[in-house]
Structure 1
């Protein structure tokens, strides 16, 4: 059996779908369906059972899985809302829960692959290399992820099973409808263009490398969700070295480039700019770009999608209903 937490979420549902494609349906999917929308991400998936995240936590604390053959745990479940400022809530959901699951996997020697975040680099002033020298946190979400990464580093030397943390950069692709304002810029622009004919981007604010940012010239390392899934499964299937790794393309694109790619894929639309929100000032990454050195040293050589190709595939997917189809 394989366990995927956050399985009704964006990346989790994509991991389940790819496992299905590879012939695995003996999957326990774990999530919280209370928002009334993310259940739709499960409709196109094949799995053996579902468990609410709180019931699952109690099950592992009570050791209910003792004797169960578990091949791997993919821990994608978390509160990913960067606008959530209740730090105690974030630490309970993202840190304490992850610790409990980590120790369950260590006890039973189960490979544990979990979602970290590029938000752990803060403003990126010191680069994007895995390690204390580059790390910071601009909001409670980032802090909860960074705190867990640092906890993992403490226990990793004594671990007798695989532990892999993947620092996702800006992920986009199918199954992110439910994320609302936290959905990728690609999904938001697709909807904006359909509704208004315009792709709305932020005006320039702040600096990159000491230079003022022009309108729409914020730069991010955008990574297609299929590549994120491939990295996860590659580490597990190859028994690759434990560690915390960047999961990004190593190339940054401006939001203007993103908008032009979406407009080209949709065959309509134009760019418009709006003022930079006050609430994001001082809490926003103007620039991210993964350093892939550590990932490549681990042996990963599968490459990443070209953004324009991925955007075209994603737009076609959205045009055709926007959800996975069961059995495909």
Structure 2
């Protein structure tokens, strides 16, 4: 089995290549990244071949056809919502996906790609895969456009498996290089560790569907092992508040924590994200193993090393 993982130096991609090596030691794993936003340290210990390339370059995908990959995990993207160059985001995220699907068609490769809960914008919860597709930024729109391309591809090529994984708020080891743009869980814990108060928008009751990285990786592997095509929400199905995070960190660290609340400066802000994960459960057999308490406790054990 020959597997390609794009965005392999990033948060989810690096966890994925390591999990694939551990679970399937006889498989050939290839890690592709342009190292513009990921970090080489995320690939320390990886034993497979590293390919340094720009996914927006069509010639790259033409060269990759020689590898005849059995499976392609596509995590590579501009995921920074601060990037306002709409053309750039669309070229890197959406146009490159067309090149990938052309490669998959030639090689008959399974494709498991990263979509995002950003496609739902501020739609009411619980978010279902076929409803409320109203992205609020170009990143979310680029993922929405990818999903539309994928659905058309599935219809025309029913013999090629394609799974879109709509990640909600992912947290866990491997996001260290993101700094202030890492998950709120990491940001809050690191401030508390430094003796600083966490800062939240008033009054910390906004809720998110936080999903631990190990559940995300498990979902990807289940997609690879299935013969199902479709788009799936990958989350816990449970919305938890930012105040819940503070309480859990306080319970784990046994520290009293004072929160600084301040006004939200954004006209648009999601007060609630919560996924309907019934489709992923039914078709992929995906059942999240980590609730927020379990995930944060394990993550803190990791972050204590820094």
Same fold (TM over 0.5): yes
Question: Matches of residues 11-160 of structure 1 in structure 2 within 5 Å?
Answer: 11-24=12-25, 26-34=28-36, 38-54=39-55, 57-61=58-62, 63-66=63-66, 68-125=67-124, 127-131=126-130, 133-159=131-157, 160=159
Query: Cα RMSD over matched residues?
Result: 1.9
Residue ranges of structure 1 left out of the alignment (5+ in a row): 204-214, 322-328
Counterpart contact for 1:28–1:51, Cα < 8 Å: no
CA contact (8 A) 1:130 1:246 kept: yes
**Unpaired stretches in structure 2, ≥5 consecutive residues:** none
CA distance in 1, matches of 2:305, 2:292: 20
The CA deviation string for residues 198-245 of structure 1, in whole angstroms up to 9 with x for no partner, is 222111xxxxxxxxxxx0000000000000000000011122x10011
TM-score by length of 2: 0.93
Structure 1 191/104 Cα, relative in aligned 2: closer, same or farther at 3 Å? Answer: same
Partner of 2:242: 255
2:183 maps to: 184
Q: What SS does structure 1 have at the residue aligned with 2:73?
A: strand
Give the corresponding residue for 1:4. 5
Partner of 2:166: 167
Shift of 1:180: 2.8
Alignment of 1:276 with 2:263, yes or no, is yes
Residue in 2 aligned with 1:209? none
Residue in structure 1 matched with residue 277 of structure 2 by the alignment: 292
Once the two structures are TM-superposed, the CA of residue 56 in structure 1 deviates from its matched residue by 7.3
How far the C-alpha of 1:263 sits from its partner, in A, is 2.4
Match of 1:105, SS state, is helix
The count of corresponding residues between Structure 1 and Structure 2 is: 303
Higher relative contact order (CA 8 A, sep 6+): 1
CA 177–299 in structure 1, closer or farther in 2 if over 3 Å, else same:
closer
- CA shift at 1:306, angstroms? 1.8
Structure 1 counterpart of 2:252: 265
Cα distance in 1, alignment partners of residues 249 and 198 from structure 2: 9
Q: Secondary structure at the match of 1:116?
A: strand
Partners of 1:85 and 1:301 in 2: how far apart? 34
Deviations 1:6-44 (A, max 9, x none): 100000011011112113362111112245x71111113
